[in-house]
Structure 1
Amino acid sequence: MLVAAAVCPSPPLLVPDVATGAAHELDAARAACADAVGLLAAARPDRLYVVGAAPEGGHGVYPAGSPGSFAGFGVDLGVRLGEGRPADGEARLLPASLAVAAWLLDRARWAAAPVEGLGVDETATPDVCAGLGRGLADSAERVALLVMGDGSACRTVKAPGYLDERAEGFDAAAARALGTADVAALLALDPELAYELKVAGRAPWQVLAGAAEGAGLDGRLLFEDAPYGVGYFVAAWS
C-alpha cells in the first residue's frame, strides 16, 4: 500500500556540478526536494520505488545499485541507485530522470528502505501507467514513491520547446493535481497534449495516480516555478 510519495523535477541541472555557473538558481528547488525526500523517510516505508520517464529502450526495472552517469552532460560524475550491486546482465545505465533521483537520495543519505527504479515509457497510456502504479502499491505493506518529472518545456520563447500558449494552463492543472493529491485529475492529463508541450512528467505522475488509488493521501505543493521556461514542481503526499 502506498503510504507516502514525493514528486520532484528531473532536470540534470538540479545537480550543481551539472549546472556549473547557474548552480544557485535552483537552490530553492533543491531545498524543496530535500524536504520531500525527508518526508518519505519519515513514513517508514518497507520499500521505495523511484519512478521516472525513460526514452525508448530504457523503460523497465532498475535494481538497487544500478549505475548512472552525467557524462552526457559534460560532467565526470557517477551515481548509484541505493545500495547493492545488480546481478550480471542487469547493470543498465540509469536514464537521466533516475540518475537525478539517485543523486537526490545520495544527498539525503537515504537508508530508510531498499530502493528500486522504474523507467516508464514516455508514450505509455494513462491506463498502462495506472496499472504499473497499482502493481507497485501492492508489492509491500508500506510503499513509498519518489516520482521524477517536469512540466511543460514550452513556457517561454527561450524554453527548449519555444512558447506554446497552452503550456501555462496545462502546468497549472498539473500543479493543482499534484498539490492536492487529486488522482482523477492526474489520470485525466491528455497524453497527446503533454507530448506536444514536451511534458516529461506526465507518465510518471500517472503511475503515482494508479499507486495512490484508494490510499487516502493528502498532498502539499512545496515548490512551483518555471526557470528556463520549464515547469518544475515539488510535492509531498502522505
Structure 2
Amino acid sequence: MSILAAFVVPHPPLLVPEVGRGEEKEIHATTAAYEEVARQIAVLHPETVVLLSPHAPAYGDYFQFTNGSAASGSFEAFGAPKVKLEAALDEELIQKLSELCQAQDLPGGTLGGRQKALDHGTLVPLYFIQPKNPHLRLVRIALSGLPLEEHYRLGMLIAKATKATGRSVVVVASGDLSHKLTAQGPYGFAEEGPIFDRQVTQALAQGDFYALLKLDRNFTAAAAECGLRSILILAGALDRQNVEAKLLSYEGPFGVGYAVASFYPGEANPQRAFLQQKLSEETQRLDSLRMAEDPFIALARYALETKVRKGETPALPPLLPPSLTQVRAGVFVSLKLFGELRGCIGTISPVTASLGEEILRNAVLSGTEDPRFSPVTPRELPLLVYSVDVLGPPEPISGLAELDPLRYGVIVRHRGRSGLLLPDLPGVTTAKEQVAIALRKAGIDPQSSYGLERFEVVRHT
C-alpha cells in the first residue's frame, strides 16, 4: 500500500470543549474543518496515522520516534484530566523507518525516549480523528533542530517505509502557524506574523511545497511559527507526486494562526522533486562562491573535508601566506548548513604554533566534536558554509556600557568558568542579551560577581 492522504492541522487544546469551556466557539471554522478531516480519514480506512508533533519530546540533532506497544495521554495540564486518549503504536512501521534512517545517514529512531506520554500536539488531532477511526495505529514523530531540508528528507523516508511495510497510511502534520498575529495575543505582534501565515496558507492551497522549503530561517523565527517543520515532513512524504491540495480553513482570532488543509497524492511527477531541486541550487550557489574564498576559509574547508573523507587531520599545506604561518591568535571556526549552525569550536588564546594550525585544529573540531551536533557527514560537505573569526587580544571592562554587540565579542569569567560570545550575531542586538547568553553558555549565575572582557575579531566568510 502507500500514503493515502495527508493533512495539516493545528493543535490548540481549547478546541476540546472540556478545555475550551466555550472559547472553542471562537474558532468554529477550525472545528468544522477538523471534523471534515476525521470524516475523510474514516472513508479512506487507513491502518496507521503518522503524526508529526512539534510538542513531542525533541532533540536538536535527532528525530525521536515513540516506541513501545501503545501510548497514552490526557489533557490534565489544561484542566481536563478526565479527557484521556490511548493509541496502539505501529511497531513494524516504526522499526522500518528507524532502519531506513540509519541506512540513509539521517539521525532518527527510537533512542532517547524520555517521555512517552502523548503531548497536546498529538492529543488534539487524535481527539477528532480517533472516534471515527478507533482501530487506527499511531506513529508519533518528534521534530528536531535539524535544518528544514532534513525534515523534508525524513518525509521521503516515511514514504519508503510505508511502501516497504505495505501499510495504508495517512500523514497528519500537527502545528500552528504564526504566534504573533496581533498585539492582543499572548505572544504579541510581529509584522512577519501575518506575512508568514499569508505565504504558508497560499502555498498549502496550491500544494506549493517548494515555496515552504525556501522560506528564510530568520523570517520564520521572527514569525514565531511552530508547524513549518511538521508540514515539510508531510511534503517530503509526497515528494515527486502531483497532489490535489485544498485549504479547508484558516483562522487567527487569538493571535495564533490555525490552518487545516488536505492533500491527496496523484500521479508521479519528477518535476516535484523539491529537495533535489533545492540541493542542486544550493550546491551551484556555493560552488560559485568558493571561487572567491580567501585562504582562511579555504584552509578551514580543506581541514574538515580531509578529516571527514580520509579520517585524518592534514598537515599545514605549503605556500600559505605569512598571515597564516607567522602569526598566532585565537580562532573560532563556524559551520552552517542551510543557514543554520552546524558546528562552532574555537580558542580564546592560541594553542598552536601558528594561525594556520589554529584554523586546521578548530575546523576539524567544529565538524567532528561539537557536543551539540553529530559529526559532519560526507553528504553534507558540499553544502557547508564556513566562517573563520580571528580574535584580537581580550581587554577587561567594567560594565555593559563598554560593549557593542556589533563590534565586540564578550568573555565572562567566574571562579574558573568562562563563556564567550562572538560579535555581530543574528538576533543579538544588545549588550545585555550578549552577556546573558555568554553567562548561560558558561553556566555562571547572572547574580554572581563575574568579570567581563571584550575583544574584536576579523571575520572571514
Task: Judge same fold: TM > 0.5, yes or no.
Answer: yes
Counterparts of 1:55 and 1:140 in 2: how far apart (Å)? 22
Contact 1:153–1:229 (CA under 8 A) maintained in structure 2: yes
Counterparts of 2:119 and 2:252 in 1: how far apart (Å)? 23
Corresponding residue for 1:30?
31
Task: Give 1:205 deviation, angstroms.
Answer: 0.7
- The alignment's TM-score, normalised by the length of structure 2, stands at 0.47
Task: Give 1:85 deviation, angstroms.
Answer: 10
Task: Give 1:154 deviation, angstroms.
Answer: 0.6
Counterparts of 2:254 and 2:143 in 1: how far apart (Å)? 25
Counterparts of 1:167 and 1:192 in 2: how far apart (Å)? 12
Choose which of 144, 147, 162 in structure 2 pairs with 1:125: 147
190 and 66 in structure 1: CA distance in 2 versus 1, 3 angstrom threshold: farther
Gaps of 5+ in 2: 92-111, 265-461
Task: Give 1:84 deviation, angstroms.
Answer: 6.2
67 and 184 in structure 1: CA distance in 2 versus 1, 3 angstrom threshold: same
Relative to structure 2, which stretch is displaced further, 218-227 or 75-84? 75-84
Task: Give 1:2 deviation, angstroms.
Answer: 2.9
1:66 equivalenced with 2:67 (yes/no): no
Contact 1:65–1:80 (CA under 8 A) maintained in structure 2: no
Counterparts of 1:195 and 1:67 in 2: how far apart (Å)? 31
Larger Rg: 2
Corresponding letter in the other structure for 2:43 = A
| Deviation digits for residues 136-187 of structure 1 (CA, Å, limit 9, x no counterpart) | 1111234310111111011100122211112111101100111122121121
Tell me the SS of whatever aligns to 1:92: coil
Corresponding letter in the other structure for 1:126 = L
168 and 84 in structure 1: CA distance in 2 versus 1, 3 angstrom threshold: closer
Contact 1:152–1:197 (CA under 8 A) maintained in structure 2: yes
Counterparts of 2:40 and 2:218 in 1: how far apart (Å)? 33
Corresponding residue for 2:127?
103
Choose which of 154, 158, 183 in structure 1 pairs with 2:209: 183
Counterparts of 1:40 and 1:21 in 2: how far apart (Å)? 27
Choose which of 140, 160, 164 in structure 2 pairs with 1:138: 160
Corresponding residue for 2:406?
none
Contact 2:38–2:132 (CA under 8 A) maintained in structure 1: no
| Deviation digits for residues 187-225 of structure 1 (CA, Å, limit 9, x no counterpart) | 123333222222111110111111111121110001011
Tell me the SS of whatever aligns to 1:139: helix
Corresponding residue for 1:12?
13
Gaps of 5+ in 1: none
124 and 20 in structure 1: CA distance in 2 versus 1, 3 angstrom threshold: farther
111 and 138 in structure 1: CA distance in 2 versus 1, 3 angstrom threshold: farther
56 and 68 in structure 1: CA distance in 2 versus 1, 3 angstrom threshold: closer
1:224 equivalenced with 2:229 (yes/no): no
21 and 171 in structure 1: CA distance in 2 versus 1, 3 angstrom threshold: same
| Deviation digits for residues 79-110 of structure 1 (CA, Å, limit 9, x no counterpart) | 33534699xx977112220121221223x431
Counting aligned pairs with the same residue, the percent is 26
218 and 85 in structure 1: CA distance in 2 versus 1, 3 angstrom threshold: closer
Q: How much is the aligned-residue C-alpha RMSD, in angstroms?
A: 2.4
Relative to structure 2, which stretch is displaced further, 213-222 or 22-31? 22-31
1:157 equivalenced with 2:183 (yes/no): yes
Counterparts of 1:34 and 1:8 in 2: how far apart (Å)? 11
How many residues are aligned here? 234
Tell me the SS of whatever aligns to 1:45: coil
Counterparts of 1:176 and 1:156 in 2: how far apart (Å)? 20
Tell me the SS of whatever aligns to 1:205: helix
| Deviation digits for residues 108-154 of structure 1 (CA, Å, limit 9, x no counterpart) | 43146432111212x33111101111111111234310111111011
Corresponding residue for 2:371?
none
Contact 1:44–1:112 (CA under 8 A) maintained in structure 2: no
- The alignment's TM-score, normalised by the length of structure 1, stands at 0.87
Corresponding letter in the other structure for 1:97 = G
Contact 2:90–2:137 (CA under 8 A) maintained in structure 1: no
160 and 110 in structure 1: CA distance in 2 versus 1, 3 angstrom threshold: same
